Amino acid sequence: MRKLVYMLARLSKIIFIISFMGILSNNCFAQSKTMIKGMVHDENNKPLPFVNLFIQNSSDGTTSGDDGSFKFFTSTQGKINLIASMVGYKKFIQEIDLTKKSNINLDIKLVESSVTMKEMVVSASSYGTDKDKGLIISSLDILTTPGGAADIFQALKTMPGLTQVSESAELYVRGGDPIETITIIDQAPVYHPFTFESSYGGIFSNLNTSVVKSLFFSSGGFSAKYGNALSGVLEVETKNLPQQVRWNVGLSLANGSIAADLPIVENRLGLYFDIRQDFTKPIFWLNGGMDRMVDAPNSENGTGGFVYSYSQNGRLKIFTILAQDKEGVEVQNAEYNGTFNGSSKNFFVNIQNSDIIFNTLVMKNSLSFNRYNTIWQLGVLDLNTTDRIFSFRNDFEFMINNNLKILSGFELENRYIDYEGNIPLLNYDIRPDAGAKYLNSELKSSRAGVYSELQSLNVLGFEGTLLSAGVRYDKFIKPSRNWVDPRLCLGYNINENSKIRFSWGIFHQLPDLALFRPEDGNPNLQAMKTIHYIMSYEYLLNEQNSFRLEAYHKKYYNLPLDDPVINYNNSGFGFADGLDVIYKGDFPFGITGWVSYGYINTKRFWMDFDHYTYSSFDVPNNLSIITKYNLNVNFQLGLNIKYATGKPYTPVISSEYSNQLDIYVPNYSFTNSGRFPDYKRIDLRITYFGQMFTGNSLIVYMEGLNIFNFENIFGYSYTPDYSKQEKIESYFGRRMLVFGLNIGI
């Protein structure tokens, strides 16, 4: 018993000692470890997850959770620098004295860094390569669209709201003429981004995809940033500093190319270029059609950029395009069969500077020059046109807080167009000895534009709302015109995945400068005007899968209309109503791609129209189905199915023989009273993606264009007495087989 008591006494002693040691050690721990905890949120008190919080030059730190809270322990003593870091936000640094402190409670506010140039409010009808620019159309989409020849414009034509009026790459946006859509490269306007321009439009763009960093396209309701455009905007940003040396060589039946990315000084200086020679002879030789070619279309094209990064945010970029093309095609007209000879030369150079000033203001400037010269010859037509554009543009972006941003800027543009040569006096007599009007005129336009726009999220505290309100003022000094265009976009995020938007805006644009020619135009023409109303619903499941439905109404005012006395007046008008729908993403059986459908009803009374009727771009149904299926890691099968209602045209109903002219003179029916057959086309492409040897890439492709050889007509020619119609097919629209390869080093 005594022994037991003794043992118990020993045990209690041991327990006491252990407990004491425990208390001591806890005390020591409490003394050596400091707990740092708190919350991290943005300027609107929204909790920020995934923020890294840490003590500078140590491993003590953590990541904030979904609710923005954080907690970690440190044994560091004395003064420390606590850093909170998150991409897109300014680094937060706070000095804290940890001496004798066991708990630190912090409330950290992160301020968004102005370096991020995201669109805060994406307007309706927007597409872009970045997710912050609208529905995503990636470079991969452009490169792998069958039949698109990796051309930006041809790929964009598969989006809803762009009508299939011809095989050309020109963008017919929601019933608008191609001149109603402006192309901007690094802030500078480019009015002729095409090769092989003729009366059928340019076939391809001369902007090679390999030099593009990002693009943004809007088919309506766009920001006040963009002026002098009635229907659409395509904004292209070219590549910045190349990071590594890359060479790319391509060869196909249609072209040969060489491209390179060449860093000169790491993260400082670099250049890139893409030089291309197009030659269509092999295609026509293989697929037929050479009989129509006197001089098969060929072109040379070089694009390149030189980039100097002079500071962390400051960058100077010189971007240039040099292009020329030539073609000679047999043309059949009722009164004359001859050769259309067309050629063009294009030179564009732009110097762009971008930087952040006063730490908060993003500034971009661009100074550009573009000279475009074209010669068209057919019978009596012999016209030499030179278009020169000088422009300067300045854009500012100022982030007031996370939910409020101001965009502002101004632009100056001088445009000179010289016409020299003969144009036919009568549109039905183009014979070499026919009556002609000699033109020798220089038209000049000078424009200054200024804009300001406010973009806001969670407007007036209403969660999920968004607003973009802007206004721009444009003043043409010569010819003297000015206008004010307000623009508005309201939106609401219904939930994380879906949103609705409403866009409204007034848009002005000066008519084609040719209509201002004193000889056959009216120097007093006013600017054309449209008002856009767009309702949009968008469902974005994730980056890969999205759906968009849009309804729009566009009203046209002040359109130029033929006038027997003053050549043109401004009493033309019109409208375009429509519905656009697109689903882009995954389909069953591992197929990816997109389906887009656009319905449009558009009428106009303008130019030489004899009454208010269907616009020449009224193509009510436009369907594009682009699908890609990966057969295995190396092979991809692509299909591009297109269907569109035939476009309207004005038929000849009879003719009368003219003794004076010694030809038959056609009598036309009412404007656009006829309609071409529906447009149908299926392109198939099989591509091999692999390697030739280690580190190099190899692409080999074979493409069948219009594989079912559907007859697509873009015009009619007539027998000399107009008694019989003959179909005119686009020479790039027939069934064709194209193959080629591309090697990347």
Binding positions for another protein, rule: CB under 8 A: 49-50, 52, 54-59, 61-63, 65, 83, 85-88, 91, 129, 138-140, 143-144, 212-214, 312, 542-544, 586, 590, 592, 628, 630, 632-636, 687, 689-691, 694-695, 697-699, 744
Nearer to another protein, 309 or 386 (CB): 309
Beta bridge partners of 685: 638, 703
| C-alpha–C-alpha distance, residues 395 and 214, integer Å | 18
What is the torsion angle, in degrees rounded to the nearest 10, for the CA atoms of residue 131, residue 469, residue 398 and residue 113? -30
Would you say 45 or 634 has its CB closer to another protein?
634
To another protein, the closest distance from the beta carbon of 116 in angstroms equals: 8
| Residue with Cβ nearer another protein (261 or 485) | 261
Query: Toward another protein, which CB reaches closer, 674 or 744?
Result: 744
Task: Say if residues 277 and 300 touch (Cβ distance below 8 Å).
Answer: yes
Bridge partners of residue 344, in order along the sequence: 325, 374
The rounded distance, in Å, linking the Cα atoms of 425 and 664 is 15
- CB closer to another protein, 308 vs 689: 689
| H or E element at residue 154 | helix 152-156
Strands (E), 311-457: 315-332, 337-357, 361-378, 381-401, 404-424, 436-457
Question: Which CB sits closer to another protein, 88 or 486?
Answer: 88
Contact 673, 650 (CB under 8 A): yes
CB-nearer residue toward another protein: 212 or 380: 212
Q: Rank residues 85 and 669 by Cβ distance to another protein and give the closer one.
A: 85
Other beta carbons less than 10 A from residue 308's beta carbon:
17
- The least CB distance from residue 592 to another protein, in Å, is 5
CB of 276 to another protein, least distance (A): 19
Q: Which of 284, 282, 278 is nearest to 205 (CA)?
A: 278
Specify the pairing of strand 663-668 against strand 713-718.
unpaired
For 589, left (φ over 0), alpha (ψ -120 to 50), or beta? left
Pair 522, 569: CB distance under 8 Å: yes
- Least distance (Å) from another protein to the CB of residue 92? 11
In angstroms, give the least distance from the CB of 150 to another protein. 12
Cβ 90 to another protein, closest distance in Å?
11
The candidate with the shortest Cα–Cα distance to 211, out of 150, 132, 149, is 150
Work out how close the CB of 85 gets to another protein at its nearest, in angstroms, rounded to a whole number: 4
Q: Which is nearer to another protein, 214 or 621 (CB)?
A: 214
Shortest distance, position 62 Cβ to another protein, whole Å? 7
CB of 625 to another protein, least distance (A): 17
Q: How many CA atoms lie within 13 A of 417 on its CB side?
A: 17
- Three-state SS sequence of 47-114: ECCCCEEEECCCCCEEECCCCCEEEEEECCCCEEEEEEECCCECCEEEEEECCCCCEEEEEEECCECC
